[in-house]
Structure 1
């Protein structure tokens, strides 16, 4: 029973670290301020 809990908690920690790692690097690569510079927002619809 203890091995099952350890495995589930360990797997969850590994998934969380992978998700944080991915979001950190995607957040740096996909800078939202670049979109306004590349394709300016039109003044009228």
Structure 2
């Protein structure tokens, strides 16, 4: 029973770390300020 809990918690930690690294690198690559420079916001609706 303890091995099952340890495995599930360890796997969750590994998935969380992988998700954090992915979001960190995607956040740097997909800079939202580039969108305004490439496709400027229209002045009138």
TM range (shorter): over 0.9
Question: Which contiguous aligned blocks of 4+ residues in structure 1 show a shift greater than 6 angstroms?
Answer: none
Q: CA deviation at 1:44?
A: 1.0
Listed as ranges, the gaps of 5+ residues in structure 1 are none
How many residues matched?
A: 45
TM-score (norm 1): 0.95
Structure 2 unaligned spans of 5+: none
RMSD value, Cα: 0.5
1:1-45 CA-to-partner distances (Å, cap 9, x unmatched) read 110010000000010001001000000000000000000000112
